[in-house]
A and B are shown apart, each in its own frame.
Chain A
């Protein structure tokens, strides 16, 4: 089985990161923004796993770190969705443009 070279995987994770970034900056819907943040986190996870596998196969730190990030991402998603629900209850919208009460 041919081994996939490391930089392919890094290309993938970089692409994923910037796709997430692009989504975060351009989408006005908060749910979509949350999904973009998940993409960014997962690009990092891929990096961790890839580096662990290719550079230090005898260690497991990278894998554990990815697990941590997945757990934290789950928690973060819960909190973020709670915020979004509250926001929706207040202003009847999940559009970030609509949430401008703190503007000068």
Chain B
């Protein structure tokens, strides 16, 4: 695997773009910033494709050789003989897949933004931030140890913050950026503590050794693992790391930042908040998959958090009216899908030979989802540019004016709904069959969510492109905006045909599961589409009636199940009143009071006794004499 130079190039070109555009963009090369950024990323993408092609095809005859490579390991920070933080590059099937996803989607977004962001005042800053994000995301994906991952994890967090708040003159964007940063930071606290626990238990930070040491630790019958509150410490570490992942991946109950993050420019939503950064949590769990499958408890946490997020987000998505918010909830729902698929391993009946199907499904869905969700967002960007509104009621009948976006949007909707032969069908199929074999209840949730997904996506599709009579002539769309749509549409349509399970599993023999199990999801998706068509194909009062029929649920879902309000209640009322205020009182009165009291007491005492320092020699002689006399009396008469 002698591709180290290429891999470094993949990683460093976006960073170079960031430095170049960040330092000189505004002053000197303003007009070309976009072209420069896109060109650098184009080279980077070519390298990524080459590396991935080499990796997956090079050992085609001997899949067993498709192993994990650690390239370029260097000690970055040494704390002593046993502890050091290294920097390295890890290439294994999932990171090879991820570099392709990240660079391709990022390139599409770069190219799309050439048209979309044209004329923006901070055009070059925008491209600099995109470069920073791409670099950080690639670094996260390629990290060879968990602390390095954490560093890049924070870097993607900060670039996400910068891009959400890109329109910093809008108060809502500033609030959204702040919210995203605080919520994910809060979750990252869990991640950091988790890292500390895991690395303390394993005595290493390196992924390979971490997995190795902790697995043997868990299996060893000799030493009882340390237990805290009924769970082994390792499990606590894994759950804390999972909390970090859940925060970044917008899983329930840490999802509240994602819908607000849609305040950023739409291509940014496509790149960061749909295709790449938000799947970092899934990627992290997949990276530590051998550890997450060690115990049933951890698996169940992953499983239920994923399933609840998927269902909840799908229900909320059905009621939202802002096109980008619908897509945001849809993203959350799909990530929930990927996540619970990673939690199915332990629940398989022991007779089953290959329980890794959940893992494959999850990664496959991550791959296909990146394409169709980025496509949906970019189409949404085109639509929003045309109608200058995010609200669905301002749209309708756009099929004549945006023929290309119409076709692409339809392809993406079919893909996400899981209609064969589009890509989503295959990846969802893997996830659903994993759920079917693991737990019938989860399967039911997943199936229902799948129907809901089809419903809300086609609700969106019909309300945007049909609903009203089509008028007008095709809107002239710049070529730089059309090409990414076409490429992504091809990806969304055909990515499912990639024999993914053969690529991911070393020497694995996973059967493709397309069979009888595939029928119910397709039927339920068609049902969802049918209902959406019935409600939204033509303008009517049916949606209102339907909403009235489910009044309670509709209102609750429309208000996002009041989770934001709950958070506000907890933070403002409970934390602020019960913790913040007493803490402030203690700080002001006890901590400050102690210090002030000391100062006042010192001043008082010195004011009282400073008369002793009279400067008169004879006074001092008196003190001396009295002291001597006192000592003499003491030693002669009292002490003896």
A100 touches B615 (CB 8 A): yes
The residue on B at minimum CB distance from A21 is: B625
Q: How far is the CA of A103 from the CA of B613 in the complex (A)?
A: 6
Name A104's contact: one of B613, B617, B618, B625 (CB within 8 Å): B613
Supposing A21-B625, A25-B621 touch, asked if A96 and B616 sit within 8 A by C-beta, the answer is yes
Total A residues in contact with B, Cβ cutoff 8 Å: 14
Contacts of B614 in A (CB 8 A): 100, 103
A25 touches B613 (CB 8 A): no
Contacts of B625 in A (CB 8 A): 21, 25
| B623 CB → nearest A CB, Å | 11
Contacts of A24 in B (CB 8 A): 618, 621
Contacts of B610 in A (CB 8 A): 104
Is B228 engaged at the interface, CB distance under 8 Å to the other chain?
A: no
Contacts of A58 in B (CB 8 A): none
B615 touches A101 (CB 8 A): yes
A102 touches B615 (CB 8 A): yes
Q: How far is the CA of A33 from the CA of B614 in the complex (A)?
A: 18
Contacts of B613 in A (CB 8 A): 103-104
Name B615's contact: one of A21, A26, A103 (CB within 8 Å): A103
B621 touches A104 (CB 8 A): no
B622 touches A104 (CB 8 A): no
Is A99 engaged at the interface, CB distance under 8 Å to the other chain?
A: yes
Contacts of A102 in B (CB 8 A): 615
Q: How far is the CA of A24 from the CA of B617 in the complex (A)?
A: 10
The residue on B at minimum CB distance from A104 is: B613
Q: How far is the CA of A97 from the CA of B618 in the complex (A)?
A: 9
Q: How far is the CA of A13 from the CA of B616 in the complex (A)?
A: 28
The number of chain B residues touching the other chain, given as a range, is 10 to 19
Q: Which of A11-45 contact B (CB under 8 A)?
A: 21, 24-26, 28, 33
- Tell me whether chain B's interface is mostly helix, strand or loop, or mixed: helix
A100 touches B618 (CB 8 A): no
The residue on A at minimum CB distance from B615 is: A103
The residue on B at minimum CB distance from A96 is: B617
Contacts of A103 in B (CB 8 A): 613-615
B622 touches A25 (CB 8 A): yes
B616 touches A100 (CB 8 A): yes
The residue on B at minimum CB distance from A103 is: B615
Q: How far is the CA of A97 from the CA of B617 in the complex (A)?
A: 8
Contacts of B621 in A (CB 8 A): 24-25
Name B616's contact: one of A21, A26, A97, A101 (CB within 8 Å): A97
| A98 CB → nearest B CB, Å | 10
Q: How far is the CA of A84 from the CA of B514 in the complex (A)?
A: 114
Q: How far is the CA of A100 from the CA of B617 in the complex (A)?
A: 9
| A81 CB → nearest B CB, Å | 16
Q: How far is the CA of A97 from the CA of B622 in the complex (A)?
A: 15
Contacts of B615 in A (CB 8 A): 99-104
Q: How far is the CA of A24 from the CA of B622 in the complex (A)?
A: 10
| A31 CB → nearest B CB, Å | 14
| B483 CB → nearest A CB, Å | 86
Contacts of A28 in B (CB 8 A): 618
A99 touches B622 (CB 8 A): no
| A5 CB → nearest B CB, Å | 23
B617 touches A99 (CB 8 A): yes
| B346 CB → nearest A CB, Å | 79
The residue on A at minimum CB distance from B610 is: A104
Q: How far is the CA of A89 from the CA of B289 in the complex (A)?
A: 91
| A83 CB → nearest B CB, Å | 11
Contacts of B622 in A (CB 8 A): 25
Q: Which of B589-640 contact A (CB under 8 A)?
A: 610, 613-618, 621-622, 625
Q: How far is the CA of A103 from the CA of B619 in the complex (A)?
A: 12
Q: How far is the CA of A28 from the CA of B617 in the complex (A)?
A: 9
The residue on B at minimum CB distance from A30 is: B617
Most buried by A among B615, B621, B625: B615
The residue on A at minimum CB distance from B618 is: A25
Q: How far is the CA of A97 from the CA of B616 in the complex (A)?
A: 6
Contacts of A100 in B (CB 8 A): 614-616
The residue on B at minimum CB distance from A101 is: B615
Contacts of A96 in B (CB 8 A): 616-618
Contacts of B616 in A (CB 8 A): 96-97, 100
Contacts of A97 in B (CB 8 A): 616
Could you mark each residue 43-65 of chain A with 1 if its beta carbon is under 8 Å from any beta carbon of chain B, else 0?
Answer: 00000000000000000000000
Q: How far is the CA of A97 from the CA of B34 in the complex (A)?
A: 86
Could you mark each residue 76-104 of chain A with 1 if its beta carbon is under 8 Å from any beta carbon of chain B, else 0?
Answer: 00000000000000000000110111111
The residue on B at minimum CB distance from A25 is: B618
The residue on B at minimum CB distance from A27 is: B618
| B629 CB → nearest A CB, Å | 11
Residues of A within 8 A of B (CB): 21, 24-26, 28, 33, 96-97, 99-104
Interface pairs (7), CB distance under 8 Å? A21-B625, A24-B621, A25-B618, A97-B616, A100-B615, A104-B613, A104-B615
Residues of B within 8 A of A (CB): 610, 613-618, 621-622, 625
4 new A-B contacts, CB < 8 A, other than A33-B618, A100-B615, A102-B615, are A26-B618, A96-B616, A96-B617, A96-B618
Interchain residue pairs A-B with the least CB separation, the first 8: A103-B615, A100-B615, A104-B613, A96-B617, A104-B610, A102-B615, A25-B618, A24-B621
